[in-house]
């Protein structure tokens, strides 16, 4: 799907569990590993280059979380024990606040991650 | 054929915040004769019942059970709001509570105790009818089960004096959304009404993209508004954002109520951080809005708002309060003196 910002988005869920890191994938795109747990994402900030294709790969360590950033076309559901990922090529520099939009408890409103596009 | 309905002459809503919620007056001028009376008669012919004068109050976001730095006074503002409401010179017909009645707790039995505490305080409100709907803090973790055990269904509709009220649940699915089943129910519910029917939608989260990155939106809010698009007189009352706001869409006006626990900043702010507690003005930014509806000359001139913000001389008990009248901050649509 083509987003308003020209990013290519692909969201999948798979049964694998991956380690934490930022590394190159098989196709050369950078893969950024992100963990979600009440009430934080780790890391809390991801820096991407404008025009860079990257895959954000997320897993939950406790309950179901969301991962939502409307302008970048990101909309994931992160279920415990499964991996959710999105591939994007952001075109517009800026700081994009990305939130958990699946209510997960009293600190839910503070569960966020910044995607910085340089 | 009767006189055609001119939407410009239909619904005028004027609001006044009272430091504790929102009071609405619906169509008080229609009891009189002249063009307004003609409009009322035509609405009655078309819709079966003409709106007749009444008032109602919106309360929101009490978060019973919460106590922390943004507001260490707990339920004090909520209890004060009940006192204010019970002393209104004109008793409202109805009180609607647009969600986050409680602050969730995962300790065994604690959330139920908070629901019970909310029900106790709300039970002091001396009005004939009270309607509750949940916020995500009430229903986001259990799909609304606890809420339903206290207050019944999380979405429903009812008619009151010619106005159709629809309560929409955009919190129980954990995500900010209404969902396909409720959308189908909404369309069916609205099917019996003509386009001129006055409709008031009650919900917790905004039905438009106020600020998605603060979760101030509803994922399928556009579909809800599309279902309402055929109707000329739609008013949406919501909570969640803990501040007053008015937003005009093509055929509807959306009003946010203040909370009864803490205030959030303007969405233009860089960070969603509760406004700091002020011990000298503990109820600052916590509010109630009076809104009055009546035939207006134009839609833009149809809203008149004023606020009464609670103040407190002493930070103890419920003594020492005074009310301070000040202009509303609801923006350019505000026209003082338009209120009937």
- Residue B97 contacts residue B122 (beta carbons within 8 Å): yes
- Residue B55 contacts residue B93 (beta carbons within 8 Å): yes
Please, which residues bridge with residue B23 across strands?
B57
CATH number, domain of A58, equals 2.60.40.420
pLDDT at A7: 40
Q: Which two tokens stand for residue B321?
A: 């309060």
- Residue B38 contacts residue B228 (beta carbons within 8 Å): no
**Would you give the distance in Å from CA B223 to the centre of its chain?**
21
Please, which residues bridge with residue B17 across strands?
B289, B307
Quote the CA–CA distance of B58 and B13 in Å, as a whole number: 13
Q: Judge whether A27 is closer than 8 Å to chain B, CB to CB.
A: no
Range of the domain at A40: 5-117
Residue percentage of chain B with pLDDT more than 90? 46
Sign, CA dihedral B312-B318-B319-B321, equals positive
Q: Coil, strand or helix: which one is B55? A: strand
Q: Judge whether A3 is closer than 8 Å to chain B, CB to CB.
A: no
Which of A72, A78, A106, A116 to probe the B interface (max B CBs under 10 A)? A106
pLDDT at B37: 62
- The total of other beta-carbon atoms located within 10 Å of residue B128's CB is 9
Of the pLDDT bands very low, low, confident and very high (cuts 50, 70, 90), residue B253 is confident
Q: Judge whether A4 is closer than 8 Å to chain B, CB to CB.
A: no
- Residue B66 contacts residue B101 (beta carbons within 8 Å): no
Tell which phi-psi region holds residue B21, choosing left (phi > 0), alpha (psi between -120 and 50) or beta: left
Q: What is the mean pLDDT of residues A87-98?
A: 97
Q: Name the residue among A69, A103, A105 with its Cβ closest to that of B106.
A: A105
Per-residue pLDDT tens over the stretch B163-182: 899 999 999 999 999 999 99
ipTM: 0.81
pLDDT at residue B143 tops 50? yes
Quote the CA–CA distance of B30 and B37 in Å, as a whole number: 5
Of the pLDDT bands very low, low, confident and very high (cuts 50, 70, 90), residue B8 is very low
Q: Name the residue among A69, A96, A105 with its Cβ closest to that of B141.
A: A105
Chain A contacts of B171, Cβ < 8 Å?
103
Compute the residue count for chain A: 118
Record: contact A106-B174, CB cut-off 8 A: no
Q: What is the mean pLDDT of residues B143-159?
A: 98
Q: Considering its fold, how many domains does chain A have in total?
A: 1
Please, which residues bridge with residue B180 across strands?
none
Quote the CA–CA distance of B291 and B218 in Å, as a whole number: 24
pLDDT at B83: 85
> Exposure string (b/e) for B291-312, b if CB count within 10 Å is 16 or more?
bbbbbbeebeebbbbbbbbbbb
pLDDT at A23: 74
> Strands A94-99, B233-238: parallel, antiparallel or unpaired by DSSP?
unpaired
Chain B contacts of A70, Cβ < 8 Å?
209, 212-213, 217
Q: Name the residue among A66, A102, A106 with its Cβ closest to that of B104.
A: A106
- Measured between CA atoms, how close is A106 to chain B, in angstroms? 7
Record: contact A70-B174, CB cut-off 8 A: no
Q: Coil, strand or helix: which one is A54? A: strand
Among B126, B119, B120, residue whose Cα is nearest residue B85:
B126
Classify residue A33 by its DSSP letter: E
> What predicted TM-score, i.e. pTM, was given to this entire model?
0.82
- Measured between CA atoms, how close is A56 to chain B, in angstroms? 18
Q: Judge whether A95 is closer than 8 Å to chain B, CB to CB.
A: no
Sign, CA dihedral A37-A43-A44-A50, equals negative
Q: What is the DSSP string of B109-176?
A: THHHHHHHHHHHHHTT---SEEEEE--HHHHTTTTTHHHHHHH--SSEEEEETTEEEEE---STTSSS
Residue with the two structure tokens 């909309």: A75
Of the pLDDT bands very low, low, confident and very high (cuts 50, 70, 90), residue B35 is low
Among B311, B340, B251, B263, residue whose Cα is nearest residue B55:
B340
pLDDT at residue B28 tops 60? no
Q: Coil, strand or helix: which one is B317? A: coil
From A97, which residue of chain B is nearest by alpha-carbon distance?
B213
Phi/psi at A93 (5° precision): -60, 150
Quote the CA–CA distance of A76 and A110 in Å, as a whole number: 18
Among B131, B136, B137, B292, residue whose Cα is nearest residue B202:
B131
- Residue B18 contacts residue B29 (beta carbons within 8 Å): no
Record: contact B175-A99, CB cut-off 8 A: no
Chain B contacts of A98, Cβ < 8 Å?
213
């Amino acid at each position: 799907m083509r987003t308003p910002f020209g990013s290519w988005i692909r969201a999948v869920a798979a049964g694998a569990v991956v380690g934490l890191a930022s590394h190159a994938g098989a196709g050369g795109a950078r893969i950024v590993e992100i963990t979600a747990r009440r009430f934080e994402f780790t890391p809390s900030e991801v820096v991407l280059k404008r025009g860079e294709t990257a895959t954000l790969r997320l897993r939950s360590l406790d309950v179901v979380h969301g991962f939502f950033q409307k302008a970048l076309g990101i909309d994931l559901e992160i279920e415990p024990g499964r991996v959710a990922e999105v591939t994007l090529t952001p075109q517009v520099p800026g700081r994009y606040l990305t939130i958990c939009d699946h209510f997960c408890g009293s600190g839910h409103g503070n569960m966020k991650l910044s995607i910085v596009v340089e | 054929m009767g006189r055609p309905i001119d939407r410009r002459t239909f619904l005028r809503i004027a609001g006044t915040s009272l430091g504790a919620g929102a009071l609405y007056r619906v169509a008080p001028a229609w009891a009189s004769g002249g063009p307004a009376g003609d409009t009322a008669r035509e609405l009655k012919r078309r819709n079966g019942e003409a709106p007749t004068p009444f008032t109602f109050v919106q309360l929101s976001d009490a978060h019973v059970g919460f106590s922390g730095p943004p507001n260490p006074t707990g339920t004090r503002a909520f209890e004060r709001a009940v006192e204010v409401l019970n002393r209104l010179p004109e008793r409202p017909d109805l009180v609607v509570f647009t969600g986050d009645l409680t602050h969730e707790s995962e300790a065994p039995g604690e959330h139920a105790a908070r629901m019970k505490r909310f029900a106790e305080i709300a039970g002091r409100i001396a009005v004939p009818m009270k309607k509750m709907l949940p916020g995500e803090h009430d229903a986001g973790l259990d799909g609304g089960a606890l809420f339903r055990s206290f207050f019944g269904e999380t979405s429903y509709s009812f008619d009151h004096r010619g106005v159709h009220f629809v309560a929409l649940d955009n919190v129980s699915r954990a995500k900010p959304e209404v969902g396909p089943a409720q959308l189908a129910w909404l369309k069916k519910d609205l099917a019996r009404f003509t386009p001129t029917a006055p409709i008031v939608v009650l919900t917790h989260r905004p039905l438009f993209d106020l600020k998605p990155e603060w979760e101030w939106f509803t994922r399928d809010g556009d579909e809800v508004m599309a279902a309402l698009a055929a109707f000329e007189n739609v008013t949406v009352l919501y909570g969640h954002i803990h501040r007053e706001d008015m937003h005009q869409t093509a055929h509807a006006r959306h009003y946010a109520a203040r909370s009864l626990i803490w205030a959030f900043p303007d969405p233009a702010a860089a960070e969603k951080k509760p406004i700091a507690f002020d011990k000298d003005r503990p109820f600052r930014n916590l509010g109630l809005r009076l809104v009055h509806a009546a035939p207006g000359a134009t839609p833009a001139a149809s809203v008149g708002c004023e606020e009464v913000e609670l103040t407190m001389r002493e930070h103890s008990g419920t003594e020492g309060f005074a009310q301070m009248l000040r202009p509303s901050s609801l923006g350019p649509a505000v026209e003082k003196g338009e209120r009937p």
